[in-house]
């Protein structure tokens, strides 16, 4: 993806399982991030009072304040809420939706492959998108020309409507990031679009078919049930 | 057919009206009711004002006179003396009601004739002819007196058949009959004015003693002052007992003939004689109220029947009184009253009969309807009212039985059930309901409100109040918590009448506290599996990931990883199955093709590892209402199985299509076929047997496939879909998943 060197990110990890915390810490350190592990919710909240973190990785079930409660506290009390990622064993769909709607920016189920964790963390840490001067954006074998609003897959141009192009670009720019339906709607169709909810699904389906967003092309479009969508780049 | 024989009520109305009319006409013409009419007339006559009494003076040859003058008949000289005395006193006219039909002593006769001729005019009576035949002429006074008298005429009195004198006799009509003496007198005194005898009814007014009376003896003795007689019409007659007759009169007394003559004379002079109404007016007066009554009872019903009858009767009597008082015409009311008195009850009776007939027909219809509770048949041998009563009895019993039946069945329901009207007033409540709400409502008495019960309920979850009565008249089901305690599933259904309108509510409280507790327990188990069991496995994997490779051999690490992943898979499979079985599905409209793509993408690592090509066919958009995550998971399980059992480098085909279901709707079909070894027919049977088994966790332990297919089966059934398996050994296996296709399914992919 974008080949530029990223600045180190300061990450707070809420995790009571030492082995898992160790794995996460190790994985992120490899990616050049600095991590701090907290075993209890209250301890993390106290730390958030005095120092700033760029990103939070939260387990749901921990002693004291749960990960979900920490997210609520952060939303209510911090001026600039850092992006947060739920990393938990709770695998039920309802839990995923509950976590995301409570304010988590992403939700990862344990056990997690280090490569996936790195990709998700990087997606969250990437706050702004440096606009390429050339107007071309490259994502794997996909190349977007943002001025002409055209897209090529392995050099083959693919015809998209304006909305489909906007939607595809949004997905690619937010690679590995869970996008809420409302967010996508607003980004592509503007505020308060009076459209049937199926419209988004139809467009997603069209983009997926036309751009062949399939694992064969190194990407996978994942629906997050009753929440939204996420585009993932597969590790080659 | 029996009903056919009965005339319509309208026809009966006409019949009654015509028959009673004819009856009234007959009675009017035949004077059937004369006796009653006479009675009424006699009473009404007392209302007629009495005539002036100062123009007529009665000189009576009474007992006293006979005693003083001598025995009757008197010498004619005495009569002459009496006339002379009256003349001398200045009498205006003298009606001398004494018969002088045969000559006596010539000298005395002459003297009487002289007295008659001189002075005031004297009028003499004639002896009416014998009643045998028309040839019988009246016997007149002898010529001497006839010439001397101013006029002669009949002075007989004819009582009605009931012995009461009401009218002047008809003797002055017809050939050979003399005129009435009083008419002759009135005529000559009127001075040429014609005195009509059109009205023959005498206006009796004051009864006996109305007229001044003096004994003839007193006149003869000169004891009467002249001014007492002066200018008066003097009627002389015999009233002495044994000589003069006395008659009953309508004025309510017994009068002497002389008094009756005086009333007659006065009536003729004053023109106050009253007339019998003509037949035609009697008919009109008789029929008019009858038809008013019939119209008032029948087509123009504006007031209660009895009031109508009273009004018509008052009309009849009022008409009679007014005619008599104002027009001096006597209109007999009895025939009209009889007509009213007949028509009213007959019409009432016919109406009652018609009502009874209708009621019987309805009751018979009711009787023929099938009954929920056994009942005895009404014996059809009884006729008439007894039969109807028996039917009505049966209907009442039936109703009572029905209510009992309903209450009984309601009581047998295990759930508290309340039947209320539209406003919430409780009509019925079963035992369970009485027990449940006894504490606060104080025993469900009829009339207590369903709204007060519903006010104790809070919606489970949101804690909002439950609206009662509900706004929409559709069945409503919600879970509520009663008094922060037990949980109930409340069902409110509109209670419809036989005509279809909503007339009330049936409210049912199903205790789901235990179900909720069980659900809570299941949720806890799932929670245990999803988190508490998964966490250590995740930790194991994390340890393996971070452990230095010189501390643990790659082979052992691989084996441990494999077992940890197996455990995770099992936990996931169980959790998914529990979700599929218990979850309340949040259905959304999804394209089956999208989900198939999600599933294939999910399995990409596995298929890629075995170089298996997964081909999709059919690009029709198939919208289905599903819980997306569960259905995608089901597809993952089926395709994952296919990958698991397929050789390397083979192809798996996923074909999407739609097919008709037969009832007009469509199936969305996804057929997944592999080129694997196929399934042994006996095993295939086993697969399907396993599908039908309950929770797989309790079933025999097999490898992961069973759990996966059980999940698929559960999900398909819960979505009202079907799953079929077809297999051929050595050729491959296919699974066909069918889901109800959404209506209005757009087949175009170029949407928006």
Residues of chain B below pLDDT 50: 1-5, 132-135, 173-176, 444, 692-705, 746-752
Instruction: Determine the average pLDDT of the residues in A64-80.
Output: 89
Q: Cβ contact (<8 Å) for B530 and A90?
A: yes
- Can you tell me the distance from the alpha carbon of B146 to that of B78, in angstroms, rounded to the nearest whole number? 19
Residues of A in contact with B579 (CB under 8 A): 92-93
Q: Say if A214 is an interface residue toward chain B (CB within 8 Å).
A: yes
3-state SS assignment for residue B232? coil
- Can you tell me the distance from the alpha carbon of B215 to that of B90, in angstroms, rounded to the nearest whole number? 17
User: Tell me, what's the pLDDT at B596?
Assistant: 93
With 0-12 / 13-18 / 19 or more C-beta atoms within 10 angstroms meaning exposed / middle / buried, residue B539 is: buried
Domain boundaries, chain B: 2-44+278-353, 51-272, 370-404, 413-511, 517-567, 584-740
| Start-end of H helices in A31-89 | 41-50, 67-77
Reported as a single tens digit per residue, the pLDDT across A87-135 is 998 888 888 888 998 889 889 998 888 888 988 888 888 764 555 556 7
User: Tell me, what's the pLDDT at B379?
Assistant: 63
User: Tell me, what's the pLDDT at B413?
Assistant: 85
Which chain A residue has its CA at the smallest distance from B538's CA? Answer: A111
From B530, B601, B629, residue closest to A215, measured CB to CB: B601
| Largest Cα span, chain A | 55
Q: Cβ contact (<8 Å) for A214 and B604?
A: yes
What value, to the nearest 5°, has the Cα angle with vertex B229 and ends B223 and B235? Answer: 105
Which chain B residue has its CA at the smallest distance from A27's CA? Answer: B546
Q: Which residue has the tokens 């958009």?
A: B621
Q: What is A2-23 written as a DSSP string?
A: --SPPPP-EEEEE-S-HHHHHH
Which chain A residue has its CA at the smallest distance from B595's CA? Answer: A223
Pairing of strands B122-126, B93-97: parallel
Q: Cβ contact (<8 Å) for B538 and A20?
A: yes
Residue A130 C-alpha, separation from nearest chain B C-alpha, in angstroms = 30
Domain at A10-125: CATH architecture: 3-Layer(aba) Sandwich (3.40)
Reported as a single tens digit per residue, the pLDDT across B480-524 is 888 777 888 888 888 777 777 778 888 888 888 888 888 888 878
From A93, A114, A202, residue closest to B752, measured CB to CB: A202
CATH 1.10.3720.10 correct for A136-233:
no
Residues of B in contact with A198 (CB under 8 A): 589
- Can you tell me the distance from the alpha carbon of B100 to that of B530, in angstroms, rounded to the nearest whole number? 150
User: Tell me, what's the pLDDT at B588?
Assistant: 87
Q: Residue B472 is inside which H or E element, if any?
A: none
Reported as a single tens digit per residue, the pLDDT across A10-54 is 899 999 888 889 999 999 998 888 899 999 999 999 999 888 888
Residue B598 C-alpha, separation from nearest chain A C-alpha, in angstroms = 7
Q: How far is CA B720 from CA A119, B131, B578, B628, B638, in A?
A: 40, 117, 18, 15, 18
User: Tell me, what's the pLDDT at A161?
Assistant: 92
User: Tell me, what's the pLDDT at B22?
Assistant: 93
Q: Cβ contact (<8 Å) for A223 and B598?
A: yes
| Start-end of H helices in B190-278 | 216-220, 226-229, 257-270
Contacts of B228 (CB under 8 A, 6+ apart): B57, B89, B212, B214
CATH 3.40.50.620 correct for B584-740:
no
From A202, A209, A220, residue closest to B601, measured CB to CB: A220
- Can you tell me the distance from the alpha carbon of B457 to that of B485, in angstroms, rounded to the nearest whole number? 10
Per CATH, B413-511 and B584-740 having the same topology is answered no
Residues of A in contact with B539 (CB under 8 A): 17, 19-20
Q: Cβ contact (<8 Å) for A110 and B588?
A: no
User: Tell me, what's the pLDDT at A43?
Assistant: 92
Q: How far is CA B389 from CA B2, B261, B384, B398, B683, in A?
A: 18, 67, 9, 14, 73
Residues of A in contact with B546 (CB under 8 A): 19, 22-23, 26
Tokens read off for B421 = 């009207």
From A26, A89, A201, residue closest to B535, measured CB to CB: A89
Residues of B in contact with A222 (CB under 8 A): 598, 601
Q: Which residue has the tokens 């395709």?
A: B639
Q: Say if A77 is an interface residue toward chain B (CB within 8 Å).
A: no
| Start-end of H helices in B413-512 | 431-436, 438-441, 450-454
Residue B639 C-alpha, separation from nearest chain A C-alpha, in angstroms = 16
Which chain A residue has its CA at the smallest distance from B576's CA? Answer: A92
Phi-psi region of B493 (alpha: psi -120 to 50; beta: other; left: phi over 0): beta
Domain boundaries, chain A: 10-125, 136-233
Q: Which one-letter DSSP state was computed for residue B167?
A: B
Q: Cβ contact (<8 Å) for A206 and B749?
A: yes
Q: Is residue B51 within 8 Å of B272, Cβ to Cβ?
A: yes
User: Tell me, what's the pLDDT at A37?
Assistant: 93
- Can you tell me the distance from the alpha carbon of A228 to that of A230, in angstroms, rounded to the nearest whole number? 7
Packed helices B106-117 and B76-89: angle between N→C axes, nearest 10 degrees: 20
User: Tell me, what's the pLDDT at A86?
Assistant: 93
User: Tell me, what's the pLDDT at B447?
Assistant: 52
User: pTM of the prediction?
Assistant: 0.55
Q: Say if A198 is an interface residue toward chain B (CB within 8 Å).
A: yes
User: Tell me, what's the pLDDT at B89?
Assistant: 87
The total of other beta-carbon atoms located within 10 Å of residue B564's CB is: 20
Topology annotation, domain B413-511: Beta-Lactamase (3.30.450)
From B534, B542, B572, residue closest to A23, measured CB to CB: B542
Reported as a single tens digit per residue, the pLDDT across B34-71 is 888 888 888 888 777 766 777 888 998 988 888 888 88
| Strands (E) located in B232-285 | 233-238, 246-249, 253-256, 275-276
Residues of B in contact with A203 (CB under 8 A): 752
Residues of A in contact with B605 (CB under 8 A): 215
């Amino acid at each position: 993806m974008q080949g530029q060197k990223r600045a180190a990110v300061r990450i707070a990890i809420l995790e009571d399982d030492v082995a898992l915390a160790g794995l996460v810490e190790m994985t992120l350190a490899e990616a050049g991030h600095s991590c701090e592990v907290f075993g209890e919710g209250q301890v993390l909240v106290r730390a958030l009072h005095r120092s700033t973190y760029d990103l939070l990785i939260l387990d749901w079930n921990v002693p004291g304040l749960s990960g979900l409660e920490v997210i609520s506290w952060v939303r209510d009390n911090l001026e600039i809420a850092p992006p947060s990622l739920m990393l938990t064993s709770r695998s039920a769909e309802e839990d995923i939706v509950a976590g995301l709607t409570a304010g988590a920016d992403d939700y990862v189920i344990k056990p997690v492959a280090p490569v996936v964790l790195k990709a998700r963390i990087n997606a969250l840490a990437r706050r702004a998108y440096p606009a390429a001067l050339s107007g071309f954006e490259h994502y794997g074998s996909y190349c977007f020309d943002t001025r002409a609003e055209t897209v090529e897959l392995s050099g083959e141009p693919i015809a998209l409507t304006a909305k489909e192009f906007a939607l595809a670009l949004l997905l690619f720019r937010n690679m590995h990031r869970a996008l809420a339906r409302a967010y996508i709607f607003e980004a592509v169709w503007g505020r308060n679009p009076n459209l049937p909810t199926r419209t988004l699904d139809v467009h997603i389906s069209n983009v997926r078919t036309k751009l062949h967003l399939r694992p064969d092309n190194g990407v996978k479009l994942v629906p997050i049930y009753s929440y939204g969508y996420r585009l993932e780049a597969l590790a080659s | 057919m029996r009903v056919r024989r009965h005339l319509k009520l309208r026809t009966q109305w006409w019949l009654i009206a015509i028959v009673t009319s004819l009856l009234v006409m007959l009675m009017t013409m035949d004077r059937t009711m004369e006796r009653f009419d006479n009675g009424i007339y006699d009473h009404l006559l007392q209302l007629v004002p009495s005539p002036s009494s100062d123009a007529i003076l009665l000189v009576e040859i009474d007992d006293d006179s006979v005693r003083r003058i001598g025995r009757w008949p008197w010498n004619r000289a005495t009569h002459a003396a009496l006339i002379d005395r009256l003349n001398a006193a200045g009498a205006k006219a003298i009606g001398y009601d004494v018969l002088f039909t045969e000559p006596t002593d010539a000298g005395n006769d002459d003297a009487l004739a002289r007295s008659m001729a001189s002075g005031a005019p004297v009028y003499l009576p004639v002896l009416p002819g014998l009643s045998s035949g028309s040839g019988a002429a009246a016997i007149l006074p002898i010529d001497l007196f006839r010439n001397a008298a101013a006029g002669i005429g009949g002075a007989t009195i004819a009582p009605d058949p009931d012995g009461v004198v009401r009218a002047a006799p008809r003797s002055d009509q017809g050939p050979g009959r003399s005129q009435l003496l009083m008419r002759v007198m009135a005529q000559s005194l009127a001075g040429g004015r014609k005195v009509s005898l059109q009205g023959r009814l005498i206006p009796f007014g004051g009864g006996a003693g109305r007229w001044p009376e003096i004994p003839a003896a007193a006149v003869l003795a000169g004891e009467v002052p002249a001014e007492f007689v002066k200018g008066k019409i003097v009627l002389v007659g015999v009233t002495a007992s044994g000589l003069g007759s006395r008659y009953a009169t309508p004025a309510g007394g017994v009068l002497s003939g002389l008094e009756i003559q005086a009333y007659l004379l006065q009536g003729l002079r004053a023109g106050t004689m009253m007339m019998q109404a003509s037949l035609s007016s009697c008919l009109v007066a008789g029929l008019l109220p009858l038809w008013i009554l019939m119209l008032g009872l029948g087509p123009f019903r504006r007031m209660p029947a009895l009031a109508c009858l009273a009004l018509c009767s008052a009309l009849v009597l009022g008409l009679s009184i007014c005619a008599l008082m104002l027009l001096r015409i006597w209109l007999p009311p009895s025939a009209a009253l009889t007509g009213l008195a007949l028509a009213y009850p007959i019409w009432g009776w016919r109406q009652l009969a018609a009502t009874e007939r209708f009621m019987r027909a309805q009751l018979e219809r009711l009787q023929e309807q099938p009954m929920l509770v056994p009942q005895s048949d009404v014996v059809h041998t009884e006729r008439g009212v007894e039969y109807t009563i028996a039917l009505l009895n049966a209907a009442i019993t039936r109703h009572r039985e029905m209510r009992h039946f309903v209450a009984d069945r309601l009581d047998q329901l295990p759930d508290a059930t309340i039947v209320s009207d539209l406003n919430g007033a409780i009509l019925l409540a079963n035992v369970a309901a009485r027990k449940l709400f006894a504490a606060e409502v104080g025993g469900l008495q009829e009339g207590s409100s369903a709204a007060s019960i519903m006010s104790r309920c809070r919606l489970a979850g949101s804690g909002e109040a439950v609206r009662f009565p509900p706004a929409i008249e559709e069945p409503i089901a919600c879970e509520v918590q009663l008094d922060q305690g037990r949980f109930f599933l409340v069902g409110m259904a509109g209670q419809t009448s036989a005509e279809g309108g909503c007339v009330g509510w049936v409210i049912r409280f199903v205790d789901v506290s235990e179900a909720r507790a069980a659900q809570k327990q299941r949720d806890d188990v799932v929670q245990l599996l999803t988190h508490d069991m998964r966490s250590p496995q995740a930790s194991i994997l994390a340890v393996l990931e971070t452990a230095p490779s010189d501390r643990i051999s790659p082979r052992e690490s691989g084996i441990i990883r494999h077992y940890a992943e197996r455990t995770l898979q099992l936990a996931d499979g169980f959790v998914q199955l529990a979700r599929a079985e218990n979850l309340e599905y949040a259905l959304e409209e999804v394209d089956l093709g999208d989900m198939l793509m999600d599933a294939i993408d999910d399995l990409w690592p596995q298929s890629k590892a075995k170089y298996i090509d997964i081909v999709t066919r059919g690009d029709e958009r198939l919208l289905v209402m599903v819980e997306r995550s569960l259905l995608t998971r089901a597809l993952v399980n089926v395709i994952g199985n296919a990958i698991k059992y397929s050789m390397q480098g083979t192809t798996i085909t996923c074909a999407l299509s739609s097919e008709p279901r037969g009832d007009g709707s469509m199936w969305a079909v996804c057929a997944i076929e592999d080129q694997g070894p196929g399934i042994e027919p006996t095993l295939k049977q086993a697969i399907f047997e396993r599908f039908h088994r309950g929770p797989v966790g309790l079933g025999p332990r097999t490898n992961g496939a069973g759990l996966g297919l059980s999940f698929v089966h559960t999900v398909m059934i819960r979505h009202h879909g079907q799953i079929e398996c077809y297999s051929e050994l050595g050729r491959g296996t296919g699974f066909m998943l069918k889901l109800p296709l959404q209506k209005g399914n757009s087949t175009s992919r170029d949407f928006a």
